[in-house]
Structure 1
Amino acid sequence: MTFTVVSLGGPVAQEGEEMMRSAGVTSIATGPYPKKDEVIALLARHQADAVIVRLIDRVDEAIMKASPRLKVIAKHGAGTNDIDVAAAKRLGLPVLAATGCNAHSVAEHALALMLALIKDLRRQDAFVRGGGWEKKSYQGHELRGRKLGLVGLGMIGRALAGMVRAIGMSVVAYDPFAPDDAFAPDLPRIAELETLLADCDVVSLHCPLTEQTRNLIGARELGLMKPGSFLINTARGEVVDEPALVKALEAGTIAGAGLDSFAPEPPAADNPLWNLPNVIVSPHIGGVTEEARREVSLQTVRNVLALLRNEEVHPRYFVRG
Structure 2
Amino acid sequence: MSFTVVSVGGPLAPEGEALIVKAGGRVVSTAPYPARADLIALLASEQPDAIVVRVVEKIDADVMRASPRLKLIAKHGAGTNDIDVEAAAALGLPVIAAVGANAHSVAEHALALLLALAKDIRTQDAFVRGGGWEKRVYKGFELRGRTLGLVGLGMIGRSFAAMVQPLGMTVFGYDPFAAPEAFGPHVERVADLDDMLGRCDVISLHCPLTPQTEGLINARALGLMKPGSLLINTARGEVVDEEALVAALKNGPLGGAGLDSFAHEPPSPTHPLWSLPNVILSPHIGGVTEDARRQVSTMTATNVAALMTGETISPRFYVKPKPKA
TM-score normalized with structure 1 length:
0.98
Give CA-to-partner distance per residue, 1:166-223, whole Å, 9 cap, x none. 2111111001111122123531211111011001110000001111111100111011
Identity %: 65
1:138 matched residue in structure 2: 138
2:147 matched residue in structure 1: 147
Q: For residue 230 of structure 1, what is the amino acid of its counterpart?
A: L
1:3 matched residue in structure 2: 3
Q: For residue 216 of structure 1, what is the amino acid of its counterpart?
A: L
2:250 matched residue in structure 1: 250
After TM superposition, give the deviation of residue 46 of structure 1 in Å: 1.8
1:302 matched residue in structure 2: 302
2:180 matched residue in structure 1: 180
1:203 matched residue in structure 2: 203
Q: Partner of 1:136: helix, strand, or coil?
A: helix
2:45 matched residue in structure 1: 45
Give CA-to-partner distance per residue, 1:69-106, whole Å, 9 cap, x none. 11100000111000000011111111010010000000
2:116 matched residue in structure 1: 116
After TM superposition, give the deviation of residue 24 of structure 1 in Å: 2.2
Give CA-to-partner distance per residue, 1:133-181, whole Å, 9 cap, x none. 1112212101111111000000000000000012111111001111122
Higher mean alpha-carbon deviation, 182-191 vs 69-78, is at: 182-191
- What value does the CA root-mean-square deviation take over the aligned residues? 1.0
User: Contact 2:104/2:159 (CA < 8 Å) preserved in 1?
Assistant: yes
1:84 matched residue in structure 2: 84
Residue 271 of structure 2 corresponds to residue 271 of structure 1: yes
Q: For residue 217 of structure 2, what is the amino acid of its counterpart?
A: I
Residue 75 of structure 2 corresponds to residue 71 of structure 1: no
Q: Across the two proteins, how many residue pairs are aligned to each other?
A: 321
Q: Partner of 2:163: helix, strand, or coil?
A: helix
Measured in 2, the distance between the counterparts of 1:143 and 1:308 equals 48
After TM superposition, give the deviation of residue 22 of structure 1 in Å: 2.0
Q: Partner of 2:188: helix, strand, or coil?
A: coil
1:163 matched residue in structure 2: 163
Q: For residue 116 of structure 2, what is the amino acid of its counterpart?
A: A
Q: Partner of 2:74: helix, strand, or coil?
A: strand
After TM superposition, give the deviation of residue 37 of structure 1 in Å: 2.1
Measured in 1, the distance between the counterparts of 2:142 and 2:130 equals 25
Measured in 2, the distance between the counterparts of 1:296 and 1:174 equals 27
Measured in 2, the distance between the counterparts of 1:5 and 1:42 equals 12
Measured in 1, the distance between the counterparts of 2:36 and 2:285 equals 25
Higher mean alpha-carbon deviation, 295-304 vs 181-190, is at: 181-190
1:29-40 to structure 2, matched below 5 A, reads 29-40=29-40
Measured in 1, the distance between the counterparts of 2:207 and 2:311 equals 30
Give CA-to-partner distance per residue, 1:206-258, whole Å, 9 cap, x none. 00111111110011101100012100000011000000000000003111000
Q: For residue 240 of structure 1, what is the amino acid of its counterpart?
A: V
2:289 matched residue in structure 1: 289
User: Contact 2:161/2:186 (CA < 8 Å) preserved in 1?
Assistant: no
Give CA-to-partner distance per residue, 1:1-53, whole Å, 9 cap, x none. 20000111111111111222222211111111112222222222222100000
User: Contact 2:162/2:186 (CA < 8 Å) preserved in 1?
Assistant: no
Measured in 2, the distance between the counterparts of 1:316 and 1:6 equals 23
Measured in 1, the distance between the counterparts of 2:17 and 2:185 equals 44
1:102 matched residue in structure 2: 102
Runs of 5+ consecutive residues of structure 1 not aligned to the other structure: none
Measured in 1, the distance between the counterparts of 2:246 and 2:309 equals 50
Measured in 2, the distance between the counterparts of 1:160 and 1:281 equals 19
User: Contact 2:120/2:140 (CA < 8 Å) preserved in 1?
Assistant: yes
Q: Partner of 1:188: helix, strand, or coil?
A: strand
User: Contact 2:144/2:168 (CA < 8 Å) preserved in 1?
Assistant: yes
1:224 matched residue in structure 2: 224
1:280 matched residue in structure 2: 280
Measured in 2, the distance between the counterparts of 1:185 and 1:171 equals 10
Q: Partner of 1:139: helix, strand, or coil?
A: coil
